[in-house]
Amino acid sequence: MDSDDESFDEHDSGNVSSGDDDFAMDVDINQPARSQQEEDYPFEVLTTEEIVQHMVDCIKDVNTVVEIPATTTRILLNHFKWDKEKLMERFYDGDQEKLFKDAHVINPFRKPSTVSKPKIKKSGTEDCEICYSSFPPSMMTGLECGHRFCTQCWQEYLTTKIVEEGLGQSIACAAHGCDILVDDVTVMRLVQDSRVKLKYQHLITNSFVECNRLLRWCTSADCNYAIKVQYVDPRPVTCKCNHMFCFECGENWHDPVQCRLLRKWIKKCDDDSETSNWIAANTKECPKCNVTIEKDGGCNHMVCKNQNCKYDFCWVCLGSWEPHGSSWYNCNRYDEDEARAARDAQEKFRSSLARYLHYYNRYMNHMQSLKFEHKLYASVKAKMEEMQQHNMSWIEVQFLKKAVDILCQCRQTLMCTYVFAYYLRKNNQSMIFEDNQKDLETATEKLSEYLERDITSENLADIKQKVQDKYR
């Protein structure tokens, strides 16, 4: 759904803990189908080798215009998150000295005048300021900033940064207070351990993908492919491992809910789902500030612990404690306006919590069902092999695999419809949406039921017809 099709108001969304969720969203039932929008979103799946080549090509593209060392170009591009146009703009239109300073590299067009010459003693050696040992100049090395240390100290320093701290693009000079970055050529020249070199290359590649807004790693576990697009948009992309996800946010494809609403929902579930049931059963809210309170003693005289509130009230009727006097156990103020307002506020909160749990439970139910449906592939594969032994061709039994694919897509979509419905304003269009949701629920459960049946030669034709009718 486009952002232009939304509107916000002070409608109760059923939120429990975060006040910024208190809005509702309109649904546009006339918006184009997502499948129509997917076709014109080009993307490319890259291997690790292709990612490295793409990084090299980006550096070459800049160097054809800006004649600076390739190592400096890589650091500058990383500083601008591999946005070549932005780098070019700053390079030619801005303060170049500030540009290089902000990127933590030495200006290649003007060497710093403050660089000190190597301090060679009469014995022809230099002192390493890390280990305080003397070495011949051939065993000392440094960066453009002029700080020189022995190769052994450099090796240990770089190995620690790479292996223990996981740094790649952001390793600074070993000198105290110097923020000049160590270029990749220097790292590969000084580090001798092949395993450390390999990890450094992986860190550089990973940083390139994560910094580049037009690249994203496939979010499937143990997949090493990356997706490259021409522009960022909340559209589905499918990796070579067959995993489909949203390029903009990286979550599993979540049509019809928007990325920002899905992020709010996931955060809300992380914050609320574990405690919501316990809160509903064991706590009440302060009638004045709505802070959640647990009763841990027998006395019904409650004092809110909120430092800005300190309200005295009765646990039983939620009315002010002051008029209770010595007859607190009678709670004879039940019909007073103040107590009634407190109970109304309490009821509103509980209703809000119940609404959230309604959508959360159904969301989690489909998530759990989706996990089971993935296991269904194994049993379906066995059924397909068995059916091929009953004089059916490989083509004829493919309807079962397609049915499981459709079933998983339906479960994923149904999960997201409950997130979408949670933030939806209640009106005539939302009722149409809920009717469509109900139809999809019914068809999905029927399809799941058919696929879990035992297939025999007697009921094969009937089940095939019913399964194909459901996923068309």
Would you please indicate which residues are annotated as catalytic (active-site) residues?
299
State the Cα–Cα distance between residues 329 and 285, nearest whole angstrom: 20
Asked whether the beta carbons of 256 and 34 are under 8 A apart, the reply is: yes
- Give the 3-state secondary structure percentages of the chain, helix then strand then coil, rounded to 5: 50, 10, 40
Helices and strands in the chain: count of H runs, count of E runs: 13, 13
Q: Which two tokens stand for residue 114?
A: 């403050």
Using DSSP's 3-state secondary structure scheme, residue 289 falls into: coil
User: What is 313-348 written as a DSSP string?
Assistant: EETTT-SBSGGGTT-GGG-TTTTSHHHHHHHHHHHH
Maximum CA pair distance of the chain?
Answer: 99
CA-based nearest residue to 102, from 13, 202, 199, 180: 180
**Sign (positive or negative) of CA dihedral 279, 280, 286, 288:** positive
Q: Using an 8 Å Cβ cutoff, are 81 and 213 in contact? A: yes
- Tell me how far CA of residue 282 lies from CA of 11, 270, 292, in angstroms: 27, 20, 10
* Helical (H) or strand (E) element with 158: helix 151-159
Element containing residue 274 per DSSP (H, E): helix 259-282
Tokens matching residue 414: 């149904």
What secondary structure does DSSP assign to 186-254, as a single string? Answer: HHHHH---HHHHHHHHHHHHHHHHHH-TTEEE--STT---EEEESS--S-EEE-TT--EEETTT-SBP-
